[in-house]
Amino acid sequence: MIALITGASSGIGKEMAKNLATRGVNLILVARRTERLLALKEEIVYNCPEIKVKTITADLSKEEQCFGLYDRVKEYKIDFLFNNAGFGLYGPFLETDLKDELSMINVNIKAVHILTKLFLRDFAARNSGYILNTASVAGFMAGPLLATYYATKNYVVQLTKAVYEELRSTGSRVVISALCPGPVDTEFNSVAGVKSFGIPSENEAYVADYAIERLLCGDLLIIPGVTTKAAAAGSRFAPTKFLLRTVRTLQEQKNK
């Protein structure tokens, strides 16, 4: 079996790669940073010498590189697609850099959309395959001071839910799921300019393992951790304005 993982050079993506290798899955690892990809490949091959690992350097904020990535790997029989690449930007919407936000939208939304569409067609044709789109518990609410990031994750959650139902209604054996973690101990925070999200962070290795297990079980929404599950549930019942004020206050307090 073969898994393609975007955003594989760090964080959850890196842990997913290592986890899948221990399960006997061959890997195609995609990220912008060649050196980190090669270091990860070396680590995996050392620990799991039977696993084949291919690395591809790509910037998924560029639409043509998303299509180019698919063209480079379509000859392989990909069994798993992990749309894991993504980043955030902290700050008031009036002040955050528009160019950076558009780049984030390209990675968090357009790349996920393009790769899901292209690989899903292949998976549907052979009636097998797994797609895991990394969203966030942020995908269940709006996020003052991380407005665009939360909005992109809402898109990922809703797209995944809709496609899941389309597949289910036709009896397809293709599985599509959305991973919706809360804060995770990764470099995401430093990239986004966030010190803390106001609730306890999960370990990235735990999140990766839990995500893979629940994907294989066919779960639609994969929410690791009791605290994160509570936050997701609470977002459905809390009054909108109260929830907005709560999220804003948490961000302000934790990022002073």
The β-bridge partners of 85 are: none
* Structural domains counted in the chain: 1
Q: Residue range 82-97: average pLDDT? A: 96
Q: Which pLDDT does position 230 carry in this prediction?
A: 86
Work out the mean pLDDT of the chain and round it to a whole number: 92
Residue 256 pLDDT exceeds 90: no
Q: Which pLDDT does position 31 carry in this prediction?
A: 98
Q: Which pLDDT does position 209 carry in this prediction?
A: 97
- CATH of residue 201: 3.40.50.720
Question: How crowded is the C-beta side of 104, counted as CA atoms within 13 Å?
Answer: 22
Q: Which pLDDT does position 185 carry in this prediction?
A: 61
Q: Which pLDDT does position 193 carry in this prediction?
A: 52
- Per the structure, the complete domain to which residue 157 belongs is given by 2-254
Residue with tokens 């160019």: 99
pLDDT-based confidence at 184, cuts 50/70/90?
confident
- Residue 13 CA to residue 15 CA, distance in Å, equals 5
Residue 48 pLDDT exceeds 70: yes
Q: Which of 130, 149, 150, 210 is catalytic?
A: 149
pLDDT-based confidence at 232, cuts 50/70/90?
confident
Q: Which pLDDT does position 105 carry in this prediction?
A: 98
SS3 90: coil
Residue 191 pLDDT exceeds 60: no
Q: Which residue has the higher pLDDT, 70 or 189?
A: 70
Q: Which pLDDT does position 227 carry in this prediction?
A: 84
Q: Which pLDDT does position 237 carry in this prediction?
A: 80
Residue 198 pLDDT exceeds 70: no
Of 82, 40, 32, 35, nearest to 57 by C-alpha is 32
Predicted TM-score (pTM) of the model is: 0.90
Is 149 one of the catalytic residues? yes
Q: Which pLDDT does position 106 carry in this prediction?
A: 98
Residue 192 pLDDT exceeds 70: no
Residue 188 pLDDT exceeds 80: no
